[in-house]
Amino acid sequence: MYKIITLVLVMSYCAITAQVGINTSTPDQSSVLDVTSTTKGVLLPRITNVSSVTNPATGLVIYDTNKKCISQNVGTPATPDWVCLSPYVAKFFYMPSVVFDTTTTAAGQTKDLYTLYKNQFSNVPANARSASAPATIPFFPNATDLYYYVTGYDTSVFKINSISSTGVLNYDVLSNATSASFINIVFVVK
């Protein structure tokens, strides 16, 4: 008798754990979890500091409140690499306008590209935006959320020495700029 009860319990457990359906009695056979609704969505865990997730599984999905996107760990639990999955997150963008003083030749000049970007994006005058736009442009909260590139520059005016992982550009001014002088700075979202 005990063998029959045990067998029935094991079979019931196997049937219960095959698929889980929420608001459906017939979950899709290819799913582990099938949530059905025509009026509500799924709310992912909202995490402000993704580095606080201990050993995140490869493929773990959360909502990153800092980057304002759905993020997935494409790395390993030991070395997480969180990437935004939201299609509306720009993958790259150009640095906002910034002035480089070229009136004096000088070596070892620096510009903190991240701080310049953050300051310009967080201080938009009310008359320089559409009526329905928020007062500030969302920006990446940490300098390490971005990669920094100089994709082109006037080599007769500038010599690029380095760019740190936090966006500090080190450069030399070789001569005065002309009306055709330029530096193209690109930020890429990690």
- Which residues have a Cβ under 8 Å from the Cβ of 26 and sit 6 or more positions away? none
- Reported in sequence order, the residue ranges of 16-144 that DSSP labels E, i.e. its strands, are 20-22, 33-35, 46-47, 61-64, 69-73, 82-84, 92-94, 106-112
**Each residue's pLDDT tens digit in the chain (190 positions)?**
555 555 455 455 545 557 888 888 888 888 888 888 899 888 999 999 988 999 999 999 999 998 888 999 988 999 998 888 876 666 888 888 889 999 999 999 999 999 999 888 777 666 677 877 777 777 788 899 899 999 999 999 999 999 999 999 999 999 999 988 999 999 998 7
Please state the separation of Cα 65 from the chain's center in Å. Answer: 10
